[in-house]
Amino acid sequence: MSPSLHPINTGPTTLLINQYLPSTKNNLVYCTFVLKSGNIRVLSHILEKRKEVIYIFKMLYRTLIFALLLLFVIPVVNQSDAASKKLDSKYAKYAQFIVIDKSSNKMTYYEKGKAIKTFSVATGKKPSYTPEGLFKIHEKTKNRPYYKERIKGGDPKNPLGDRWLGINVKINGRTSYAYAIHGNNNPSSIGKYISEGCIRMHNKEVRWLFDKVKMNTPVLIQK
């Protein structure tokens, strides 16, 4: 339906403009504008810019919906995900606890049985490379050298990153210092089965974990 103009006063003072505008539901919204006759240019500008005004309102509507999703829907999804990672009751007594799931290459950090944060990790390129069992953090080191290739700690080429959380895996009855949760120099490897047995994390995330966990924090590695 095209717009129509209806004079409400024969004098030069005012005009009544009736304009149909489409709503977001494709219905017609009847809008009435009253302007002084001297402002016909303003009226023309309004009619010419109608599509732009409708576009702006649509964008505002979409932005509002997106903001509501961020505020309410996404936090609920995250809470549900955390709630699904309940710790076995026999481990809930620990102030801190780490679970590494090799089947999904995910690691979850717990405090008093509550899941605090879950990370993607990389584990052994063969199932046997990353040992399974209950261990504990027995070493915390920043900028550990990569002795195998004589790369200094802190070097960007160091595949261990800049944080090392050693776990007390035993080999032939003796504690080994070769296994750890550590950073990396290849972010694309995270989530894959690619290491020689250690658990790799993104550098930013392992720094967060390093600052959180204390010595002797239990670490459960499972299939």
| Helix (H) or strand (E) run with residue 10 in it | none
Whether 202 is a known active-site residue: answer no
Q: Which of 31, 45, 138, 182 is catalytic?
A: 182
Which two tokens mark 164?
């090392």
Q: Which of 45, 138, 198, 202 is catalytic?
A: 198
> In sequence order, what DSSP letters do the residues of 121-186 get, joined into one string?
-BEESSTTTS--EEEEEEEEEES--BGGGTBPTT-TT-TTTTEEEEE--EETTEE-SS-EEE--S-
Whether 182 is a known active-site residue: answer yes
Q: Which DSSP category does 37 fall into?
A: G
Which two tokens mark 93?
């007594």
Dihedral pair phi/psi, residue 27, rounded to 5° = -90, 170
Q: Which of 57, 206, 86, 194 is nearest to 140 (CA)?
A: 206
Catalytic residue IDs:
182, 198
